[in-house]
């Protein structure tokens, strides 16, 4: 080293990426894929490095989605904590009581979850279709491209099976038969808060069990839909990447179940036009508070009531 040279010492510390709400097994699977990208990068030529960088970008997008999943999980936990708060002086649900809870913040984060979910799938589409020299960044086009190559490429055939298992994505993140998806409606026409039909509403039954109704907007329960997307978006992305990067693993779609429980029930799924089922209500958010909406319910909804301790385990109480 010449006299004009300067030695600089530094320590590079990699930030641990927050996997949001992946199970420990699914998180390890994601790290396995990232490790494959990292190890092959060192020996790759420039073209292959671009390909590996594109695969890595899919994981980066997924991490952003998982952070939004974490926020929805926290909203659920906070809700449970408000139902059964710490402290003897704090109001808590008692038998015969009902309570409604503001949902605007959860609705806003749910919108972000939809946006990140679709962006993640679009980025994956760009990577996979480029593998077949059919570059497109629209997730609905991924299936047709894979079908064109499935007869001669086992990777395409395997990913088609994965897409078929992701039953909650059509309608929420992609349009179906000309009808706009929830994500599209929120992007161009309305908001989750504007489309809300009921807020979170909890009923403590006479036996002490609690029935929590989810916040719903345009026919979609907020926490219920978030829980489904928390499974299916990571499953599609990571299983597809593992096929095209030839990662040696037997990890399957069913193993992406989120490590948190959705304790909320969709009110609209149990509404009936007659019969002698229970008459129950939910509350709708208004600019000046709430309004009550009563409906006759399928008696089976009572089977979904839970013990208070279940909410306390998932919340702050």
φ/ψ of 237, rounded to 5, equals -65, -50
Query: How confident is residue 52, by pLDDT bands cut at 50, 70 and 90?
Result: very high
Question: Which percentage of the chain shows pLDDT scores above 90?
Answer: 79
Rounded CA separation 106/217 (Å): 12
pLDDT confidence of residue 163: 97
* Sheet of 216-217, strand order: 196-198, 216-217, 220-221
* Other residues' Cβ atoms within 10 Å of the Cβ of residue 147: 12
Mean of all residue pLDDT scores within the chain: 91
The domain segmentation of the chain, as residue ranges, is 24-314
Mean pLDDT of 197-201: 94
Query: How confident is residue 1, by pLDDT bands cut at 50, 70 and 90?
Result: very low
Rounded CA separation 47/37 (Å): 14
Rounded CA separation 240/165 (Å): 12
* 3-state DSSP of the chain: CCCCCCCCCCCCCCCCCCCCCCCHHHHHHHHHHHHHHHHHHCCCCHHHHHHHHHHHHHHHHHHHHHHHHHHHHHHHHHHHHHHCCCCCCCCCCCCCCEEEECCHHHHHHHHHHHHHHHHHHHHHHHHHHHHCCCCCCCHHHHHHHHHHHCCCCHHHHHHHHHHHHCCCHHHHCECECCECCHHHHHHHCCCCCCCEEECEEEEECCCCCEEEECCEECCEEHHHHHHHHHHHHHHHHHHHHHHHCCCCCCCCHHHHCCCCCCCCECHHHHECCCCCCCEEEEEEEECCEEEEEEEEECHHHHHHCECHHHHHHHCCC
* Other residues' Cβ atoms within 10 Å of the Cβ of residue 79: 25
pLDDT digits (tens, 9 = 90+) for 78-132: 999 999 886 555 567 899 999 999 889 999 999 999 999 999 999 999 999 999 9
Rounded CA separation 286/130 (Å): 48
pLDDT confidence of residue 290: 81
* pTM > 0.85: yes or no: yes
pLDDT confidence of residue 18: 54
pLDDT confidence of residue 285: 81
Query: How confident is residue 12, by pLDDT bands cut at 50, 70 and 90?
Result: low
pLDDT confidence of residue 11: 64
Mean pLDDT of 200-210: 95
pLDDT confidence of residue 317: 43
Alpha carbon of 159 to those of 73, 143, 147, 169, 176: distances in Å?
A: 28, 9, 10, 15, 20
pLDDT digits (tens, 9 = 90+) for 216-274: 999 999 999 999 999 999 999 999 999 999 998 899 999 999 999 999 999 999 999 98
């Amino acid at each position: 080293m010449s006299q004009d040279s300067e030695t600089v010492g530094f320590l590079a510390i990699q930030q641990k990426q927050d996997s949001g709400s992946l199970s420990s097994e699914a998180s390890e699977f994601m790290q396995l894929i990232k490790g494959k990208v990292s190890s092959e990068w060192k020996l790759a030529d420039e073209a292959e490095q671009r390909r590996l960088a594109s695969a890595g970008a899919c994981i980066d997008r997924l991490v952003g989605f998982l952070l939004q999943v974490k926020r929805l999980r926290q909203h659920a936990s906070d809700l449970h904590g408000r139902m059964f708060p710490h402290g003897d002086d704090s109001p808590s649900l008692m038998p015969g009581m009902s309570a409604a809870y503001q949902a605007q913040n959860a609705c806003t984060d749910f919108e972000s979850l939809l946006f990140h979910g679709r962006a993640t799938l679009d980025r994956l589409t760009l990577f996979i279709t480029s593998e077949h020299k059919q570059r497109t960044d629209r997730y609905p086009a991924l299936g047709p491209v894979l079908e064109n190559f499935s007869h001669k490429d086992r990777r395409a055939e395997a990913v088609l099976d994965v897409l078929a298992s992701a039953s909650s994505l059509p309608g929420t993140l992609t349009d179906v038969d000309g009808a706009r998806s929830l994500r599209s409606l929120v992007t161009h026409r309305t908001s989750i808060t504007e489309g809300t039909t009921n807020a979170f509403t909890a009923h403590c039954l006479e036996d002490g069990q609690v029935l929590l109704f989810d916040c719903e907007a345009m026919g979609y329960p907020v926490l219920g839909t978030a829980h489904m997307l928390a499974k299916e978006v990571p499953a599609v992305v990571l299983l597809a990447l593992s096929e095209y990067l030839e990662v040696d693993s037997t990890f399957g779609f069913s193993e992406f179940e989120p490590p948190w429980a959705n304790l909320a029930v969709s009110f609209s799924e149990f509404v009936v036009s007659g019969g002698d089922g229970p008459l129950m209500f939910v509350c709708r958010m208004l600019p000046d508070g709430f309004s009550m909406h009563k409906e006759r319910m399928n008696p089976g909804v009572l089977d979904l009531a839970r013990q208070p301790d279940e909410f306390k385990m998932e919340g702050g109480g």
